[in-house]
Amino acid sequence: MRAVVQRVTKASVSVDNQIVGKISSGIVVLLGVGKDDTLEDAKYLAEKIVNLRIFEDGDGKMNLSLLDVKGEALIISQFTLYGDCRRGRRPSYSDSASPDIANELYEKFVELVKGYNVHVETGIFAAHMLVEIHNDGPVTLLLDSKKVF
């Protein structure tokens, strides 16, 4: 499982010109599911993400987590995180999970994050979405449950 995590002041996601998810201060998680991912990958990433110390404390140091600041999360499925661009000009998505498996693990991930008492908003799985992100910092992190990077 792969995630792009961005600290935001606000963010929203729209489908067909309708906002379907909107948060204030917190994080946006763009989540990709790989063909070999399991529930353990979702558990690892959920715990890691909600506890990442990427929010500033009173001294301006990044020492606080999403849980500490009681921030919100906007979680959006993004299979293109498994796009392999090493050969040719068209990315290969052969490492991404099939839609049924990806949706199941995406939904599990969302539930796991909610289990930490985080307010979560989402996009719509497999829909064409427009995402508005007000990246704060900017702070952007890449995570991989297999620890590839």
Catalytic residue flag (residue 18): no
Give the contacts of 32 (CB within 8 A, at least 6 positions apart).
1, 2, 3, 77, 78, 79, 80, 81, 82, 96
Q: Which of 9, 38, 55, 80 is catalytic?
A: 80
Catalytic residue flag (residue 38): no
Catalytic residue flag (residue 78): yes
Give the contacts of 98 (CB within 8 A, at least 6 positions apart).
35
The answer to whether 127 and 106 have CB atoms below 8 angstroms apart is: no
State the Cα–Cα distance between residues 79 and 83, nearest whole angstrom. 8
Q: Which of 6, 55, 79, 109 is catalytic?
A: 79
Nearest to 44 by CA among 56, 35, 31: 31
Q: Which of 55, 78, 109, 122 is catalytic?
A: 78
Give the contacts of 67 (CB within 8 A, at least 6 positions apart).
50, 51, 116, 117, 118
State the Cα–Cα distance between residues 103 and 87, nearest whole angstrom. 28
What residues act catalytically? 78-80
